[in-house]
Structure 1
Amino acid sequence: MNLRFSPVTFFTCCIMGIMITGCRPAVTPSGEETPVRLRVTILSEQPVHEPVRASGTLVSRHEVKLSFKTGGIISSISVEEGDQVRKGEQLASLDLSEIEAEVRKARAALDKAWRDYTRAGNLYRDTVATLEQFQNARTALDVARSNHDIAEFNLEHSVIRAPADGKVLKKLTEPGEIVAPGMPVFVFASTESEWVVRAAVADRDIVRLEAGDSARLHFDAFPGEGFAGWVVEKGTAADPYTGTYEVEIGMQRPPQNLVSGLVARAEIYPGEPENRIIIPESALTEGDGMEGMVAVIRNGRPVKCRIVLESITDQGLVVKEGLQPGDTLVSEGAGFLLPGSRFEMEFDRE
């Protein structure tokens, strides 16, 4: 019987033969296995400037809610959201009919109290009125003067004026609405103060940060650009809902067209570096997320060791668990080891 092989069958057999040959340990011309060359290093801790990464929003450092001191009906609103305003410019006013009436009543009461005090003083000097009557008239005058001051103060704060040069971020009411005392009418941001990014960081990170630490800011609105900054202030109490701490990051050279509410990504660099074990990526033989396997030399033989990573930096892989200073790490070649393989070690410095 004649056996015939198709070209596809012949090609498949050739490939399988090459693969089987490639899986065999390399041998020297004398028939001995070629030892696997391992590059090893003695581990030691290194200073790491690991940044704290957080996200936040851009705001004016002095962002306030403006409201009326007294309640009433809003008579007029003279600005819209996004308007730039100057310090002292009128933004809104209440209907002053009731408030001006209170001022007139307080002024009339003050005039009467002044007349009563003058009359009581004259009678006291003529020994017609008693000292008690004169003192009561003076007390009534003081009370009337205070009531007049309160009425004038309420009248003055029945108009909202811009506290500084800035921008109206939000308009929360409309003319004709009735507002209670202190109810916000505008959200206002001063452009006289610097822009800051308010970011939230975890408790393990807030203890690493101090005012003045450098930072780098990135905005989706400005792709490919980074802005230098620094920590202006850090929170001392956790948010009761999220458990995070707020950090304010200032900008050194902000662009001219910034607007409040831009989302920012921040990298904050603590002033004091931390000592960590750093290994090269080539040392990993297996990896799953932030866990992996490496080989270390124990009793003269390479053995597998499970590690947990803390972060990945430009310097290498920062180890959180699994390795100690003084361990001998196989930095290259561990992936070529098979059970029983011969090996040669070449020491390198970290």
Structure 2
Amino acid sequence: MNAQPLRLGALVVSISMVALAAGCQRVGAPAAQAAPPVVATATVEPLGTAGLGLSGTVRARVEAPLAFQVGGRIAARRVDAGQSVQAGQVLFELDPADLEQAVRAAEADVAAAEAALRTAQADLERVRTLAAQGFVSAQATDRAQLAAREAASRRDAAQARLSQVRNGRAYAQLRAPAAGVVTEVTGQPGQVVAAGQPVATLAQAGAREVEVFFPETVTPPATGQARLPDGRMVPLALREAAPMVDTLARTRRARYRADGLPAELPLGSVVSTQFALPGRPAAAAESTSPVGTWRVPVGALDERAEGPRVWRVRDGKLEAVPVRVLRLDDRHAVVAAPLQAGERVVALGTHLLQPGMTVQERAR
């Protein structure tokens, strides 16, 4: 029997097994050495320790809507939005035709009531004369006295109505109750308005304030600062705060006294405000890091857990950091969190992350 073919076959089988094993190792090697996922990161931007910066609007202390005390058709408008006015200046006028007719009717009622009173008084004098001569009873005298009193009351009522309609005729002119600036005009000539319907808004001259809208989770602080367009800082003192959160905007309105505002700063100007927020977020109370206010990309927020958080990258691994959201816009979020300046957080795709995950950073 020839042994050479058998040896040749065994050699072929051995070579095939070695090649198969090497191929299995090459296929399995990439799975065992898979690179960690790449994440986009951004550096947190400090906004001050436990501070909050918001935009405020310069307002007049008193902003009153103006309205006629009587109804009618507007005959003339003598003011425009943005115009400065003085106390007593005529702003609007109603068509006085109906009011004049009402005055004449009231004057006629007064004349009739006075004539009736004179007649009742004359009857009372005659009855008293006849009663003294014994020609009428005491009951007739009482009736005459009551008639005279009734006529006098009707005369007084007619005179009161006349004074009222005369006042109404004077109300046909809407005058500025104080000096200031007309910030809004809604009434137009030819428009029929009811009594009490606002036709303009007057921002009275004098003290001015800064109006700020806070997130619903923040109680308006008692003090703060406003940065003017020229860089100067003006102290703020809380005067009033809305007791309820706005149901649509989810904010709380607050008014701050700002006695140092320059007179040349127009109403409606936007100023930057800064407030110190006492305390620390409850979610981060156990952390030893100081709680500060930071700006992060809005995509860095992850709300899958019990509260909002961001993912901090340390030594290539992820850590979840609880935060308190102070405000949002279309690009950034301002949060209070135990972060440090220069730290990096994942900026996108936070819904795919898990604690302790190893990642590769790619700065945005």
Q: Which amino acid aligns with 1:64?
A: A
Distance 2:115 2:49 in 1: 77
Aligned match for 1:259, one of 260, 266, 269: 266
- Structure 1 pair 225–311 and aligned structure 2 pair: CA distance change class (3 A): farther
Q: Which amino acid aligns with 1:216?
A: Q
Instruction: Tell me if structure 2 keeps the 8 A contact 1:217–1:229.
Output: yes
- The structure with more radius of gyration: 2
Distance 1:311 1:187 in 2: 36
Q: Which amino acid aligns with 1:65?
A: P
Instruction: Tell me if structure 1 keeps the 8 A contact 2:215–2:250.
Output: yes
Q: Give the structure 2 partner of residue 214 of structure 1.
A: 223
Q: Counterpart of 1:274 in 2: which secondary structure?
A: coil
Count of equivalent residues: 252
Q: Give the structure 2 partner of residue 123 of structure 1.
A: 123
Instruction: Tell me if structure 2 keeps the 8 A contact 1:52–1:205.
Output: no
Aligned match for 1:269, one of 272, 276, 299: 276
Distance 1:241 1:280 in 2: 33
Distance 2:167 2:146 in 1: 32
Residue 249 (structure 1) aligned with residue 256 (structure 2): yes
Relative to total residues, which structure has the larger strand share, 1 or 2? Answer: 1
- Structure 1 pair 240–146 and aligned structure 2 pair: CA distance change class (3 A): farther
- Structure 1 pair 54–110 and aligned structure 2 pair: CA distance change class (3 A): farther
Question: Identity over aligned residues, as a percent?
Answer: 22
Aligned match for 1:200, one of 197, 205, 213: 213
Q: Give the structure 2 partner of residue 291 of structure 1.
A: 310
Instruction: Tell me if structure 2 keeps the 8 A contact 1:278–1:318.
Output: no
Shift of 1:253: 0.8
Deviations 1:110-155, CA, capped at 9 Å, x for gaps: 2321332233234234436534322321332232123212202211
- Structure 1 pair 237–130 and aligned structure 2 pair: CA distance change class (3 A): farther
Deviations 1:268-327, CA, capped at 9 Å, x for gaps: 335xx326656379xxxxx955534588xxxxxxx9964324489xxxx96469xxxxxx
Distance 2:249 2:125 in 1: 71
Instruction: Tell me if structure 1 keeps the 8 A contact 2:86–2:178.
Output: yes
Distance 1:53 1:105 in 2: 63
Instruction: Tell me if structure 1 keeps the 8 A contact 2:50–2:336.
Output: no
Q: Which amino acid aligns with 2:187?
A: T
Q: Counterpart of 2:217 in 1: which secondary structure?
A: helix
Q: Which amino acid aligns with 1:249?
A: Y
Shift of 1:164: 0.7
Residue 157 (structure 1) aligned with residue 176 (structure 2): no
Distance 1:195 1:145 in 2: 44
Instruction: Tell me if structure 1 keeps the 8 A contact 2:227–2:234.
Output: yes
Q: Give the structure 2 partner of residue 174 of structure 1.
A: 188
Instruction: Tell me if structure 1 keeps the 8 A contact 2:290–2:338.
Output: no
Q: Give the structure 1 partner of residue 289 of structure 2.
A: 279
Report matched runs for 1:321-336 at 5 Å: none
Distance 1:49 1:158 in 2: 58
Q: Counterpart of 1:231 in 2: which secondary structure?
A: strand
If the length of structure 1 is used for normalisation, what is the TM-score?
0.61
Q: Counterpart of 2:168 in 1: which secondary structure?
A: helix
Q: Give the structure 1 partner of residue 6 of structure 2.
A: none
Distance 2:171 2:77 in 1: 15
If the length of structure 2 is used for normalisation, what is the TM-score?
0.59
Distance 1:89 1:113 in 2: 37
Instruction: Tell me if structure 1 keeps the 8 A contact 2:103–2:165.
Output: yes
Distance 1:175 1:306 in 2: 63
Instruction: Tell me if structure 1 keeps the 8 A contact 2:289–2:338.
Output: no
Give the alignment's Cα RMSD to 1 decimal.
3.6
Distance 1:318 1:91 in 2: 50
* Alignment gaps of 5+ in structure 1: 1-47, 282-286, 296-302, 322-331, 333-350
Q: Which amino acid aligns with 1:117?
A: L
Aligned match for 2:199, one of 172, 185, 190: 185
